[in-house]
Amino acid sequence: MKPIPLTPDTTALARRLIWFEEPQEALSDTARFVAYALARATHEDMKILRDIISDDDLREALDKAPPGIIDPRSWAYWNAKLGRYPTPPMPTRQFG
């Protein structure tokens, strides 16, 4: 998955989606950033992101999504939108 460049648009997007981190840190892990976007971004936010990443990048982000970020409804929506049916299981936390 290619990195998301630090631009004025992506900086603003990072500040909205991952408000508790600096944009450079938020954008440093592409899969994690995209997971937050899939769960929280508006249509306008996704238009910015979709100019940068492809459907294949989104599929890879879903495969690498950390557990606990994407809610079940968003998980089902984005997997269906990207032609992944049946929807694969959501990521789960592993303890111990």
pLDDT single digits (tens) 5-52: 999 999 999 999 999 999 999 999 999 999 999 999 999 999 999 999
Task: Return d(Cα 3, Cα 15) in angstroms, integer.
Answer: 17
Q: Which two tokens stand for residue 50?
A: 């979709």
Rounded to 5 degrees, φ, ψ at 39 are -90, -30
With a pLDDT cut of 90, the percent of the chain lying above it is 94
With a pLDDT cut of 70, the percent of the chain lying above it is 100
What is the pTM (predicted TM-score) of this model? Answer: 0.93
